Amino acid sequence: MISLLVITGLQGSVEARRRRIKRSSDRYYRSELTVPNGGGWGSWGQREMCPAGTYAAGFSLRVEDPVGREDDTALNGIRLHCIESKASSDSYHSYSTGQSDVFSWGRWTDIKWCPSGFLTAFQLRVERSQGDGDDTAANNILFRCSQGTLQGDGTNWGDWGTWSLTCEGKGICGLKTRIEVPQGRDDDTSLNDVIMYCCD
């Protein structure tokens, strides 16, 4: 029994180490992309970057579907899917991820990939404060690729804001999100705002 616990503990620490290696916040970035309509609840999490030499060519979202009269949270997380700069669209099966702080409500949507190139700009769909009503804050995201656009499979509350600036550099290579922690019996919003980082 004791040896099983030791083995399990070692396995957990090895997995945690592997995860830390993949989750990087130290990569140099050239510019930040922001939008003016993000929600104001919660606090900013850590910056998460794609591994060196990779850029975001796709994304997926953690979304809670509408739950009726209960407390809706809508967008709960964003995951960037990163490929090497010389990779082609047929090599999307080999990618790494960088993801925002995430809460457990909802499910991950399917990955959406740029037809070519990388993510270069974004818009957020955000619901304004509802006063005494149910607030959801960020509901969906729309990315501009090197060619074309990709809309997430988020929810439909709120309005689309303006586009961020376009990346200086090759493309988006990391993100940081503003998340409101669970409020117990009070109203939850989860993901409120995001900053994207661009790399050469």
Q: What are 106-136's pLDDT values in tens digits? A: 788 999 999 989 999 999 988 765 555 445 5
User: Taking phi first (over 0 means left), then psi (-120 to 50 degrees means alpha), and beta for anything else, what does residue 147 get?
Assistant: beta
What pLDDT, in 10s, does the model give residues 25-54?
A: 678 899 999 999 877 778 898 899 999 999
List the chain domain ranges. Answer: 26-66+73-199
Rounded to two decimals, the pTM is: 0.75
For the chain, the residue count is 200
Burial 24-33 (b: 16+ CB within 10 A, else e): beebebeebb
> Which CATH number among 2.60.120.10, 2.100.10.20, 3.40.50.261, 2.60.40.10 corresponds to the domain 26-66+73-199?
2.100.10.20
